[in-house]
Amino acid sequence: MDDVNTPVLPLTSVKVLELSQILAGPTCGQMLGDLGADVIKIEKFPAGDDARGYRRDGDSGLAPSFLMVNRGKRSLALDIRTPRGNALVRRLVRGADVVTENFRLGTLERLGLGYEQLAAENPALVYCSITGYGRTGPLAHQGGFDLILQAFSGLLSVTGEPGGRPVKPGNSVADINAGLLAAFGVLAGYVQRLKTGRGTRVDTSLLHASMQQMYWFAAAYFSQGTIAKPAGTAHPLTAPYETFDCADGALAIGGANPANWERIAQLLGHPEWIADPRFATSPARLANRAALAEVMTAELRRHTTAHWLAKFDEAGVPAGPVHDVAQAMEHPQSRAAGMVIDVAHPKGGHTRGLGSPVQIGGRAFANTGPAPRLGQHSASVLHEFGLTDDEVRSLIDDGTVFQAPAPSGESR
């Protein structure tokens, strides 16, 4: 009997054909897979998803970057540019629920695999495209790259230290956010399908994903014409809300409301700051942010981060350590929250990955199956979609499809 307390994942039995690669599209697929979808990567061969080649010295097996956003998916290696491969995609679409793709605008349309063409095969299809600049406008036909769109959107111009050169955030903001927006759009499209019986086209882009990150900066520009500049870790609208040096490291402190600011002043031994005209109000603290940071840092440097963390926690002031990657991944809270998970490794044993940031029924779920080898599931997927043994063998023999040999003990 099923455990009544175990939630049924909402996308169980939903089939997704992932005609996308590297990071944005696979992030979308990973999110859908963690919600229960069966995500089938349709990959070119012999190279497959370009992220398979993103390796550092010392990497063995599948590239770690590929493993991270492709866990639990299945790989169908297929040449969509051949007539038989093209026809095969259209056949698969008839049994699919969702298609995701991140080709340059117009590429799949020219191959006969655009939304209109595939919707004719399956009117209930939800078709999600991730482009560089969107589907309309003078730059729509340009290709998109994370760094380029971060620069275009203004994001680089507000990142970094005051007076410094533009700085790229350490993560791929445009790619990852585009994947999240795409998953959001797919879910909306699927809800529409449940209501109407018909699918739809969903579009987002790296431009949309980058510009969405600019809420506060766009508000300042639209309201007063203010063009924001880099401010390090400081917040554009309130202070103190940034990182500060302590005796042995750095601490992030959030004093974004009057009550927390007053607690900070008391805790640091300077209750007179509360009435100081430079710091008495939120606009004053923002205008005098540099002076405020200077006097706070002078006190914070007297003790360690651990000392201050205990003090701030006792006072109820939001504060946290500035972790490096190892400290973040190894912290027990990261695993307790379901964000660091064990993942089955293709060669046996387990490795670790990042889990799903969405909880269902109060529990964090993630597909912990291994990322696929290129073409690992080609034959089994085609059989599931109704192809006969002879058809599958013919497609493999003429080079339309690649089926990876199964290592000893591994099922296809």
Q: Which residues are catalytic?
A: 175
Which are the contacts of 18, defined by CB distance < 8 A and separation ≥ 6?
25, 26, 29, 39, 40, 41, 42, 73, 100
Residues 6+ apart with CB under 8 A from 224: none
Strand bridging mode 126-131 / 98-101: parallel
Which residue from 203, 213, 58 is spatially nearest to 150, judged by alpha carbons?
A: 213
